[in-house]
Structure 1
Amino acid sequence: MAAESGSSELIPVVMLLGAAVVAVPLFKRIGLGSVLGYLAAGLAIGPFGLGWFSDPQTIIHTAELGVVMFLFVIGLEMQPSHLWALRRAIFGLGSLQVLVCGALLTLVGVAFGFSWAVSFISAMGFVLTSTAIVMQLLGERGDIATPRGQKIVSVLLFEDLLIVPLLAIVAFLSPDAAAAAAGASRWASIGIGAGSIALLVAVGVWLLNPLFRVLANAHAREVMTAAALLVVLGAALLMQLGGLSMAMGAFLAGVLLSESTFRHQLEADIEPFRGLLLGLFFLGVGMSLDLSAVAQHWALIVAGVLSLMVVKALGIYVVARLTHSPHEDALDRAVLMAQGGEFAFVLFAAALAGRVIDPVVNANMTAIVVLSMALTPLAVLALQRWAPRVSPSTAGAPVPDHQTGAVLIIGLGRVGQIASQNLLLLGAEITIIDADPQLAREAEHFGFKVYYGDGTRLDILHAAGADKAKVILVCVDEPSAATQIVQQCKHAFPHVRVIARSFDREHAAALVKAGVDLQVRETFESAMVMGREAMLALGTEPAAAEAIEADIRRRDAERFQMELDGGGLVAGRPMILGNLRGRNGTQAH
């Protein structure tokens, strides 16, 4: 019986995963994107499709953690200084877009014959753009870090902050006396929310880095993963208890850790959970589409979807143009943000509980929001196919006054420190990761910004920006680890030039076979310099010393080629000196 009970509990999990595994690759193959695949899969297996699930809200509430983790990862990419630089976009552009779109959408509701209160709540629910869908689409096309992507992220952050005052307005609009009293106390809860933010900031500034330092020294990867999840979920819970958005709490936690040496490790540990839970969220949204309500009020819902999306897109476009965005960026933002979002469900549920809207309006508006979310990927595809190709915008981007490049250095030991000097003097953009948390911490005293991370892990390399680098320097002192890193880099990032430190001739050959662009034996060049200086000290003419050095290098290259061809090393024979026998019988480096 226990076995049967356990297997029956696995059935819903298998159904969810199976639907995603079938639908998402199919939709991506036909060019419709993963988001629409998840939504279609959820609709197919939900209560209004095959009926495999009867309560999609349970899945949505659980899978909202995917949105929470997504915001945490975005927070990791935004240092406080960068966030402060976006303050005008967050509060200026965000508030202007919300005000303009809110007013226009309220007028649309009134034009449909609804009261001002119902029109306002419906409009503000639709104004709250879907963070999950927009961020997913931005991430798939690599636009999150671009200037136009940063403006969209800024507006999304402002809209996340807006949910608290909107819930207070719902309480004030409620005809229920108890709800109105609750609205009067809502301002007190805003104070509690501010206290929650202050507590989270204090914990992030004084406790999180020491915690991760202790855990990193323990060298237990699973504990680091557990700690990363604890930070994300703990921050989300704290904000929820304070009456704020869970996603906002996770975002703040990410910002507080954005300058931590453990940033890339945290991002890599969170990524698998984020992707899976975000997919479940889209599945839940697809399940929540009430097809019976759509069939019963199809004319109103279709008209509502089209009118609200068109008017919101028009408002976004106008605001973007007024704030000096080029036509292409304004059009892209308007299409990308023209849908309602997940916070609309929270707002409509509160309005229904406070009798501001009735169950029919709630069902219709929920269907409108879900359909708008489903239509957004299609609208983005249509824009990409038929609109003029959008060129990357350089508005707001820094203009370098000298040539810079993206360099990833793996390992900050003796070799890594020396190799980085030229790049620092050049002014290149450098990211450094090292698996020693003690070294990562001490390096800050010497002006280095080093992140903790295991360079042999592909997810860490992605998090450190290896896919965007021009050069990767592998400076770790463990030969097997260096070879593994080179193999990972050349397989996953074939466009990036990889330069590696090799331990000896045998290791150098292994690196060449792994595809390294350039390997440098750590003792060979220094030994050649020492030998040349010794010859000069004995009175050898410089030209003769150079000829001897060139002959040694030629012999070494021949022997190295033999090693690559499978000839191997001869035990007890130093290969640098060719056929000359060494006295100590050791293998030359």
Structure 2
Amino acid sequence: MAAELHGPDLLSAVVLLGAGVVAVPVFKRLGLGSVLGYLAAGLVIGPFGLKFFSDPQTILHVAELGVVMFLFIIGLEMQPSRLWGLRKEIFGLGALQVGVCALLLTGVGIATGFPVAISFVAGAGFVLTSTAIVMQLLEERGEISSTKGQRMVSILLLEDLAIVPLLALVAFLAPIAATDAPPSGLRWMDIGIGVGAVVGLIVAGRYLLNPLFRFLAQSRAREVMTAAALLVVLGAALVMQVSGLSMAMGAFLAGVLLSESTFRHQLEADVEPFRGILLGLFFLAVGMSLDLSVVTANWRSVLFYVAAFMVVKGIAIYIVARLMRSSHTEALERAVVMAQGGEFAFVLYSTATSVGILDGRANAMLTAIIIISMVLTPIAIIGLRYILPREKQSLDGVDVAEGLSGSVLVIGFGRFGQIASQPLLMRGVDVSIIDNDIEMIQAAAEFGFKVYYGDGTRLDILHAAGAGRAQAVLICVDKPDTILAIAEHIKAEYPLVQVYARSFDRGNTLALIKAGVEYQIRETFESALSFGENTLIGLGVAPEEAAEIIGDVRQRDAERLDLQLAGGIHAGNDLMKGNAPVPGPLVKPRQSGRALSEETARVLPAAQTADSAN
């Protein structure tokens, strides 16, 4: 009877979701990224694997909406003001790298006997680096905000922008590929329609979208706003598609037009869930589309082009980096990290196949080349770490800590150290400052601060920085292990020096107290108490009562620290994890001159079930 029931194909949905849920965490755990996880999962469940699906193209057509929404969100992030602020890095370094790589990679195709249109599409697709792989790597290293990290992000941003004109160029190249006619044979009527559609979309977005969302917002119906967001994305994509251009271009333009709208964050939140699941579905479909029979039959060609494209692109990136005055090490690292093809190549190749520039065999080979290059990138990065010596920071223009004699030594001049040193400097205290971040030292010098280079974890540096002669040492670095190591070194070597330490969390605080520091403060504790006090005042609690409540919280926290110290640091850590009994509530209502409201009295005792890690 169950077999006679008609309804949605739940088995296909379950297989797709299950494949992604299983593969993505495994691949991310291996350091290979979610994109490769989706691709591998698609390959396993596709027609060349377990054969759960026989027609991946059907899924691919639906999943292309994920790319459309992805480009809409990219457009939302591309405010004209932001683009202008990054103009030198994006349109200078980024455009130069994309242009040089595209030229050289197109030359690889032409040199091996392929027509210009096919060579350009193949090379241009490989130019587009995997944003997912590079951003994940930068995030893991904590280098997104560094100078070299910002350069890579700017290049990726330009490549994200480049996909839009590349998709349009593919559409315009289609007649050349199909008829082998010269450029004068282009259908100028179609070009005019496309340009008119772009202009019309810009005008509509400039004068209609904001009033539309303002009107819908007044209805206070969340589902209507979500529907309107999808309508804008899909409507703009439809206009571009009907005009013979890329759906992705329409979505991107719609995003840019709304990038400075007051509804930008709401739109991004509404579209993001659909974008995530459809983009994952897109990569699953791409994995299913990988024709292993074509790859097996042409494995020599596939491996040749993987090596040729990666080597040529890496050389081009290195040359551009050196021309833009990057160091040899940074240029080489960027060349290895960005030498692979990326996710947008699949979009470009799919579009080129649909308009007749590529055939199915070429698409399968190029897709395999991109996937293999993405797989090889983490391996190449690991190899690079063993080949390159550890980069030594240039100390040009920076003084090394030596022979300092300030009455107070500040170690670390980040946000915390800058604020902590201000009252000392205003009082005229003789302060010596050391930091091991060259960029921070150079930036501080621009504002008139003299900061010396030195690593506070080394005893010889502490001695040269005058730690033994100082009345007090302020540890203001941000890593808990480093904070504790510096404190232990100073207390062991200079036991009479007062040590004031910034603490990362409760566990770090307990360890610092055990080490014997005179004073420690959790970096978020006092600011959070001030935040809570002002919240109480904003809710109508009298300032005196709010201050009394905060004082009670501060006192009880100190009592809990004493109890944890009496039970040992391990007991304190167990307490944070909820594995030990809590010795009394973390906070409790105080029945002083002013009684707390019933609502406050009900909320505060609930905190006894959790212990802050701050």
TM-score, with structure 1 as normaliser: 0.62
Distance between the aligned counterparts of 1:302 and 1:100, measured in 2?
Answer: 23
Q: Percent same amino acid among aligned pairs?
A: 50
C-alpha offsets along residues 274-327 of structure 1, whole Å, 9 cap, x if unaligned?
Answer: 211111111112111111111111111111212112212222332233234555
Distance between the aligned counterparts of 1:389 and 1:20, measured in 2?
Answer: 38
Higher relative contact order (CA 8 A, sep 6+): 1
Q: 1:291 to 1:389 in 2, by over 3 A?
A: farther
Shift of 1:81: 2.2
Letter aligned with residue 119 of structure 2: F
**Alignment partner of 1:168 is 2:169:** no
Which residue in 2 is equivalent to 1:299? 300
**Alignment partner of 1:22 is 2:22:** yes
Distance between the aligned counterparts of 1:384 and 1:274, measured in 2?
Answer: 35
Letter aligned with residue 83 of structure 1: L
Q: Structure 1: any 5+ residue segments left out of the alignment?
A: 393-402, 405-493, 501-510, 529-548, 577-589
CA contact (8 A) 1:45 1:51 kept: yes
Which residue in 2 is equivalent to 1:521? 537
Shift of 1:231: 1.8
Letter aligned with residue 521 of structure 1: I
**Alignment partner of 1:109 is 2:113:** no
User: 1:50-449 counterparts in 2 under 5 A?
Assistant: 50-86=50-86, 93=93, 96-112=96-112, 114-117=113-116, 120-121=119-120, 123-129=122-128, 133=132, 137=136, 147-148=150-151, 149-174=153-178, 176=179, 180=181, 184-327=185-328, 330-331=331-332, 333-334=334-335, 335-336=337-338, 338-339=340-341, 341-346=345-350, 348-349=352-353, 353=356, 360-376=361-377, 379=380
Shift of 1:45: 0.5
Shift of 1:38: 1.0
Which residue in 1 is equivalent to 2:47? 47
Shift of 1:260: 1.7
C-alpha offsets along residues 220-241 of structure 1, whole Å, 9 cap, x if unaligned?
Answer: 2222221222222222222223
Question: Bigger CA drift: 209-218 or 8-17?
Answer: 209-218
Q: 1:308 to 1:131 in 2, by over 3 A?
A: closer
Q: 1:525 to 1:234 in 2, by over 3 A?
A: same
Distance between the aligned counterparts of 1:556 and 1:115, measured in 2?
Answer: 74
Q: 1:282 to 1:89 in 2, by over 3 A?
A: same
Distance between the aligned counterparts of 1:188 and 1:495, measured in 2?
Answer: 64
Letter aligned with residue 241 of structure 1: V
Distance between the aligned counterparts of 2:372 and 2:61, measured in 1?
Answer: 19
CA contact (8 A) 1:68 1:250 kept: yes
CA contact (8 A) 2:353 2:360 kept: no
Tell me the secondary structure at the aligned position of residue 54 of structure 1: coil
Distance between the aligned counterparts of 2:188 and 2:138, measured in 1?
Answer: 36
Distance between the aligned counterparts of 1:283 and 1:345, measured in 2?
Answer: 16
C-alpha offsets along residues 205-264 of structure 1, whole Å, 9 cap, x if unaligned?
Answer: 222222222222222222222122222222222222333332232222222222222222
CA contact (8 A) 2:537 2:543 kept: no
Tell me the secondary structure at the aligned position of residue 262 of structure 2: coil
Shift of 1:158: 2.1
C-alpha offsets along residues 372-427 of structure 1, whole Å, 9 cap, x if unaligned?
Answer: 345456556666787678999xxxxxxxxxx99xxxxxxxxxxxxxxxxxxxxxxx
Q: 1:202 to 1:332 in 2, by over 3 A?
A: farther
Distance between the aligned counterparts of 2:192 and 2:143, measured in 1?
Answer: 36
Shift of 1:156: 2.9
Q: How many pairs align?
A: 436
Q: 1:279 to 1:327 in 2, by over 3 A?
A: farther
Which residue in 2 is equivalent to 1:37? 37
C-alpha offsets along residues 330-361 of structure 1, whole Å, 9 cap, x if unaligned?
Answer: 4455433531612442354157x36xx66644
Distance between the aligned counterparts of 1:173 and 1:103, measured in 2?
Answer: 19
Distance between the aligned counterparts of 2:182 and 2:241, measured in 1?
Answer: 21
CA contact (8 A) 1:102 1:124 kept: yes
Question: For the aligned residues, what is the CA RMSD?
Answer: 4.4
Q: 1:574 to 1:380 in 2, by over 3 A?
A: same
Question: Bigger CA drift: 191-200 or 324-333?
Answer: 324-333
Distance between the aligned counterparts of 1:86 and 1:188, measured in 2?
Answer: 36
CA contact (8 A) 1:33 1:377 kept: no
Tell me the secondary structure at the aligned position of residue 51 of structure 2: coil
Shift of 1:42: 0.8
Question: Bigger CA drift: 365-374 or 556-565?
Answer: 556-565
Shift of 1:182: 10
Tell me the secondary structure at the aligned position of residue 290 of structure 2: coil
Q: 1:251 to 1:497 in 2, by over 3 A?
A: farther
TM-score, with structure 2 as normaliser: 0.60
